[in-house]
Structure 1
Amino acid sequence: MTLHIATPLIKSRPLSLAAGRAVWLKLEALQPPGSFKLRGVGHACEVHHARGARHFISSSGGNAGLAVAYAGRALGVPVTVVVPETTSARAIELLKLEQAEVVITGSSWQEANQHAQGLLQPGDAFIHPFDDPLLWTGHASMIDEVAQSGVKPDAVVLSVGGGGLLSGVVEGLQRNGWHDVPVLAVETEGAASLQAAMVAGGPVELPALSSVATSLGAKRVADQAFACTHQHPVFSEQVTDRAALQACEDFLRDHRLLVEPACGAALALAYEPGRLDGYERVLMIVCGGATATLEQIRDWLNKQP
């Protein structure tokens, strides 16, 4: 019995019509805490729990923190989540709903993460939001489920922040023998740390982030995510904040499911004509996200140039 659920895989009529090709959706937004993060985080928490961890510590004001809080509550392990001051009131509310202790400190995730590392005591386990092999192995299970369904796509579309999802999906594709299935890795303009790494020939730190898709807000992509671009066919794609936000609105209309702008970035490729040309069957990872409200998304959309 895993902490995550096996999520539906559906063929989307609205997105297939919009893209002019068959679009399949892996509905990770339906995981209990609202995002794919539970797959990897749940796996990591179960491993650490089996090793005797008595307390989980994480550094995420978003979906990874929510997944740790959910996993800790399910396993009966206390959880502390350190979040930066920029974290939304909604995210803090959701973390407390899962009975996590929330510590607010620092102006960025990097500062919150540094503080979290300083809290570690013997018997504690640190659960990283994206940069941990245990996470990638857990995330890979979504591709196992797709393979078991008998649907083999011509391409997988996913969003990239720190690169945990990309690392897990590539691991899943390869362990199912799908070395020939390319990944379209989508970032928003202003948070494109993977593309910067691919241009520079290695991970580099962005000077600043300027995207509303805060769940994609990693200034530096994980080393493993960059390594994936050499181990597997990975193509970098970028969309505007407006396109990501509009995709959230369109997807809510089409599938009655609210996702964050970080997820909207990947969905935007289906809604923008021509972006998926060359692929007949496309798998989109609907990674989800629980911390953005519809009011927030509409407010951001109204402020876009």
Structure 2
Amino acid sequence: MHPLTYDDIKAAADRIGGHVRPVAVATPDAGGEPYELHLALELMQHTGSFKARGAQNFLLAHRERGTLPDVGVTIASGGNAGLACAWAARRQDVPATVFLPTTAPKVKADKLLSYGADVRLVGTEYAEALAACEAFAAETGALASHAYDHPLIAAGAGTLLDEILRAVPDLDTVVVSVGGGGLFAGVATAARQHGIRTVAVEPENCRALDAALRAGHPVDVAVDSVAADSLGARRVSATALHAAQQDGVRSVLVPDAEITRTRRALWDDRRLAVEHAAATALAALTTGDRPRPAAGAYRPEPGEKVCVVLCGANTDPTDLVGAPAHA
């Protein structure tokens, strides 16, 4: 695979234009902080997450090349990538077979069925579902997509950055959560083209990118986080690691307690029901006044213009009802 480039992202933007929803960017009160905060509401995207961008780019590119088989497409996913793949496959009128770990949220599995996908539950982690998916593709000839580790998938995700820039043309920093690294790799590649910093945020106990940066190459990590259904990749992609090793990128870790608190605060304060992966990115900013481990929170400079990507909303909102986050 060639390294992801900005040209790949521009080609993806041309390909998926009119097939995905342009991102809405909100500018809420930053809570008295001296920086300017923007929220990219990608939770409003088709299928409830940014993954629709990469799925459309992947299938449309294969349709253009004549390499989209009648037997359809298959993917392993914690939920969101499978949803996007099934939705895009239905639009291309081909079958989708989606492999999920048994730990995937029921709300995601139910939505997959509503898209007409053949849903198969395998193992308790994404890696186990991926192995089953690869075996299925080899046996049937189905086109194997990937939740994050493919240039077409990452390029599709990267189209988000230029849309954010149309709303905030003088943006300084973009903040994204990281699982396997597809969203991060695409956004960071586009951000670097425009001289914008990227902050990559992971849960402390679900840290594939942080571990890869420390080792100098992708390595397997343990997966144990409230956000593992979306950010539970055991190993980050080489493309994401390459993007993280460039200038203008910072890696940040946040604890599950802050992820949960931030998710609740988004509901209590803004009536945004997001999944834990989306709250992970914002948690990097909302913990700056608390004692932190060495990885630290991200503290914007006074006057800095920061956009946090709220990447998805495929969550069961019933646990948001109750005592407020600030109680």
Give the alignment's TM-score, normalised by structure 1: 0.90
Task: Give 1:171 deviation, angstroms.
Answer: 2.1
Distance 1:270 1:42 in 2: 31
Task: Give 1:66 deviation, angstroms.
Answer: 0.6
Counterpart of 1:88? 105
Task: Give 1:158 deviation, angstroms.
Answer: 0.8
Counterpart of 2:307? 283
Task: Give 1:232 deviation, angstroms.
Answer: 3.4
Report the count of equivalent residues. 294
What are the residue-to-residue correspondences of 1:180-259 with 2, within 5 Å?
181-206=196-221, 208-214=222-228, 215-259=230-274
What are the residue-to-residue correspondences of 1:15-94 with 2, within 5 Å?
16-17=30-31, 19-50=33-64, 51-53=66-68, 54=70, 55-94=72-111
> 2:261 aligns to what SS in structure 1?
helix
> 1:48 aligns to what SS in structure 2?
helix
Tell whether the 8 Å contact from 1:245 to 1:297 is kept in structure 2 after alignment. Answer: no
Residue 288 of structure 1 aligns with an amino acid whose one-letter code is G
Task: Give 1:61 deviation, angstroms.
Answer: 3.1
Alignment deviations for residues 250-274 of structure 1 (CA, whole Å, 9 cap, x no partner): 1122332211111111111332245
Counterpart of 2:170? 152
Matched, 1:7 2:30: no
Distance 2:32 2:227 in 1: 23
Residue 150 of structure 2 aligns with an amino acid whose one-letter code is D
Residue 196 of structure 1 aligns with an amino acid whose one-letter code is A
Task: Give 1:152 deviation, angstroms.
Answer: 2.4
Residue 255 of structure 1 aligns with an amino acid whose one-letter code is R
Task: Give 1:297 deviation, angstroms.
Answer: 6.1
Residue 19 of structure 2 aligns with an amino acid whose one-letter code is L
Counterpart of 2:278? 263
Structure 1 residues without counterparts, runs of 5 or longer: none
Task: Give 1:131 deviation, angstroms.
Answer: 0.3
Alignment deviations for residues 75-105 of structure 1 (CA, whole Å, 9 cap, x no partner): 2111110112222222211110111110112
Tell whether the 8 Å contact from 2:198 to 2:249 is kept in structure 1 after alignment. Answer: yes
Distance 1:107 1:116 in 2: 14
| Higher alpha-carbon deviation: 153-162 or 253-262 | 253-262
Counterpart of 2:317? 294
Describe the shift of the 1:9–1:295 C-alpha distance in structure 2 as closer, same or farther (beyond 3 A). same
Residue 211 of structure 1 aligns with an amino acid whose one-letter code is S
Tell whether the 8 Å contact from 1:52 to 1:123 is kept in structure 2 after alignment. Answer: no
Counterpart of 2:189? 171
Give the alignment's TM-score, normalised by structure 2: 0.84
Task: Give 1:70 deviation, angstroms.
Answer: 1.0
Describe the shift of the 1:239–1:297 C-alpha distance in structure 2 as closer, same or farther (beyond 3 A). farther
Structure 2 residues without counterparts, runs of 5 or longer: 1-16, 290-297
> 1:211 aligns to what SS in structure 2?
coil
> 1:187 aligns to what SS in structure 2?
strand
Tell whether the 8 Å contact from 2:191 to 2:197 is kept in structure 1 after alignment. Answer: no
Distance 2:36 2:215 in 1: 34
Matched, 1:133 2:133: no
| Higher alpha-carbon deviation: 122-131 or 69-78 | 122-131
Distance 2:237 2:320 in 1: 27
CA RMSD of aligned residues (A): 2.1
Tell whether the 8 Å contact from 1:19 to 1:276 is kept in structure 2 after alignment. Answer: no
> 1:288 aligns to what SS in structure 2?
coil
Task: Give 1:296 deviation, angstroms.
Answer: 4.6
> 2:46 aligns to what SS in structure 1?
coil
